[in-house]
């Protein structure tokens, strides 16, 4: 294993100094009557493994229900608590920056009554999760290994999977199990399965992988335990059928999506299966004149489904009800080369799709997020992502603040623009499409970004592949970042 970095960050002294300029220590605050104090803190007093984006909240019973109460929040990591928020109108406080990893914070609240009385609460404390960042590559004897997707198990260890690619028609599924610090626990190559095109996590940490059988060329689904042992495999469809996506619907069982051949035409394909993989229903979609491939799918908030992919050379998006009946569809403009490669429901009323738009077959892609209304499929807005992309793979996920985060491969000069180097690029968009940050990772040259996961602690995990030099072998790579996409300093 080659270690590129293993970094942590600590509380920024400049931020604390800024707070000190506007406040005082906890010993300067008036005493509070024990009978009327802030209570019910969130996080709970003594809580551990708190996420770095967790806001503080509490409850308070005013002396006068009609009066206007304001609050001051104090916190710190030592014996002195500094004012962080003053004259707050509500019983909630969001820190200006995420909490630091693996740090114990002490905090309290002072409630200001209309008559001038100040009721100060007790000092509470919580400890944030350890979220050390790192970058690892994993040399393999198998040819051209790449990682496409990742899962986080209940014990916070990680599953990353993809394929070892011999050529366009020959590949084998590759899977890694990593501890939370990126140390390889085991890896396995599954010769009967062509690739882990997508993963899902079931009950008791069961891993569901989909792709295509190597010999049968049929759609394949496999359920494995956390040790990587296959519990069952199922095949679906006919020759040249394959799965590209899997989800576990809230009603139980599985929904697989991919491509199925009907006569001489390829169709987008959904298969609804029970907990053991037996087919409940299956549907194909698409015009008879185009080759359609379903690439990604989601369950919508109303219990239906949506899927995206490529029809001919253009993007499509379809929304269905819970039994697969089509409710509406979107097709990109005629002549537009723009596969839709990833999909997420980002708000209660919209779907966000990652489009890799290409001006000509010989030119790089331009990454774009298009947002569609869930109700009728109308295009709400589009956001161009920075740079050109030499690869059409990528993934979009919804983050905790109702925005989205995207990973893809970009031609990078490490200044957010085009260059000659392929880098793994992460971009985070706020709910209205404002670009919050763009970060490139290129520990080796080139590096490709394929899959993305937001961990329970709030930080990100990106997977892909890298190569140290033109003569070097391709190696799988996993990058763990902070909540803001950065690496901790040494």
pLDDT for 467 equals: 85
Give dist(CA 415, CA 408) in Å, integer.
16
Q: Report which of residues 390 and 452 the model is more confident about.
A: 452
14: enclosing H helix or E strand = helix 13-21
pLDDT confidence bin for 234, thresholds 50/70/90: very high
Nearest 10 degrees: CA dihedral of 470, 471, 472, 476? 50
Residue with tokens 């260059």: 419
**What percent of the chain has pLDDT above 90?**
61
Arithmetic mean of pLDDT over the chain = 86
Q: Report which of residues 238 and 29 the model is more confident about.
A: 238
Given a contact cutoff of 8 angstroms between Cβ atoms, the answer to whether 318 and 328 are in contact is yes
The whole-number average pLDDT for the span 168-175 is 83
Q: Report which of residues 305 and 168 the model is more confident about.
A: 305
pLDDT tens by residue, 305-317: 999 999 877 899 9
The whole-number average pLDDT for the span 152-179 is 90
Is the confidence at residue 271, as pLDDT, over 60?
yes
Q: Which two tokens stand for residue 386?
A: 């920075």
SS (H, E, C) 258-320: EEEEECCEEEEEEEEECCCCCEEEEEEECCCCCCEEEEEEEECCCCCEEEEEEECCEEEEEEE
pLDDT tens by residue, 70-115: 999 999 999 899 999 999 999 999 988 778 888 999 999 999 999 8
Q: Which two tokens stand for residue 309?
A: 């992919």
Q: Report which of residues 3 and 280 the model is more confident about.
A: 280
Give dist(CA 178, CA 159) in Å, integer.
6
Residue with tokens 């806001």: 55
Q: Report which of residues 29 and 472 the model is more confident about.
A: 472
The whole-number average pLDDT for the span 115-121 is 93
pLDDT confidence bin for 21, thresholds 50/70/90: very low
Q: What is the DSSP letter of 129?
A: P
Give dist(CA 397, CA 152) in Å, integer.
15
Q: Which two tokens stand for residue 311?
A: 């029809």
Helix (H) and strand (E) counts in the chain: 1, 38
- The closest of 444, 450, 424, 487 to 147, measured between CA atoms, is 450
Length of the chain: 490
Q: What is the DSSP letter of 203?
A: G
* Region of 144 on the Ramachandran plot (φ > 0 left; ψ -120 to 50 alpha; else beta): left
- The closest of 423, 419, 385 to 405, measured between CA atoms, is 385
Q: Which two tokens stand for residue 394?
A: 């990528």
pLDDT confidence bin for 416, thresholds 50/70/90: low
**What percent of the chain has pLDDT above 70?**
89
- Domains within the chain, CATH numbers bracketed: 7-128 (2.60.40.10), 133-481 (2.120.10.30)
């Amino acid at each position: 294993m080659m270690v590129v970095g293993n970094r942590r960050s600590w509380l920024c002294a400049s931020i604390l100094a800024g707070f000190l300029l506007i406040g005082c220590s906890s010993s300067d605050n008036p005493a509070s009557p024990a009978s009327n104090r802030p209570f019910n803190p969130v996080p709970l007093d003594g809580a551990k493994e708190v996420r770095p984006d967790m806001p503080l909240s509490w409850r308070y019973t005013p002396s006068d229900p009609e009066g206007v109460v304001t609050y001051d929040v104090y916190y710190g990591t030592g014996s002195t608590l500094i004012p962080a928020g003053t004259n707050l109108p509500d019983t909630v406080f969001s820190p200006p920056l995420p909490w630091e990893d693996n740090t114990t914070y002490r905090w309290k609240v002072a409630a200001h009554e209309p008559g001038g009385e100040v009721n100060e609460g007790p000092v509470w404390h919580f400890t944030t999760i350890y979220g050390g960042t790192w970058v690892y590559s994993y040399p393999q004897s198998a040819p051209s290994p790449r990682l496409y997707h990742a899962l986080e198990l209940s014990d916070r260890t990680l599953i990353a999977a993809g394929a070892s690619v011999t050529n366009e028609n020959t590949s084998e599924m590759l899977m890694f199990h990593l501890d939370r610090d990126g140390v390889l626990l085991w890896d396995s190559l599954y010769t009967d399965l062509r690739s882990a095109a997508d993963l899902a996590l079931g009950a008791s940490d069961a891993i569901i992988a989909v792709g295509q059988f190597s010999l049968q060329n049929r759609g394949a689904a496999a359920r494995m335990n956390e040790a990587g042992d296959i519990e069952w495999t199922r095949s679906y469809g006919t020759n040249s059928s394959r799965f590209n996506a899997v989800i576990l619907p809230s009603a139980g069982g599985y929904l697989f999506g991919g491509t199925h051949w009907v006569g001489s035409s390829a169709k987008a394909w959904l298969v609804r299966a029970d907990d053991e993989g037996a087919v409940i229903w299956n549907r194909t979609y698409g015009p008879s004149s185009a080759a359609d491939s379903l690439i990604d799918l989601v369950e919508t908030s109303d219990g239906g489904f949506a899927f995206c992919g490529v029809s001919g050379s253009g993007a499509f998006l379809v929304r269905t009800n819970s039994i697969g009946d089509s409710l509406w569809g979107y097709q990109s403009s005629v002549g537009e080369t723009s596969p839709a490669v990833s999909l997420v429901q980002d708000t209660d009323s919209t779907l966000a799709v990652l489009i890799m738009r290409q001006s000509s077959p010989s030119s790089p892609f331009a990454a774009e997020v298009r947002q569609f209304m869930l109700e009728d499929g109308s295009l709400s807005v589009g956001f161009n992502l920075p740079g050109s992309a030499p690869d059409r793979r990528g993934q979009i996920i919804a983050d905790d603040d109702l925005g989205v985060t995207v990973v893809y491969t970009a031609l990078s000069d490490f200044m957010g623009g085009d260059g000659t180097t392929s880098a793994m690029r992460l971009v985070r968009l706020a709910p209205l499409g404002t670009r919050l940050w763009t970060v490139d990772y290129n520990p080796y040259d080139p590096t490709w970004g394929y899959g993305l996961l937001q961990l329970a602690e709030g930080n990100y995990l990106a997977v892909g592949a890298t190569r140290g030099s033109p003569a070097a072998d391709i190696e799988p790579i996993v990058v763990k970042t902070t909540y803001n996409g950065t690496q901790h300093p040494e």
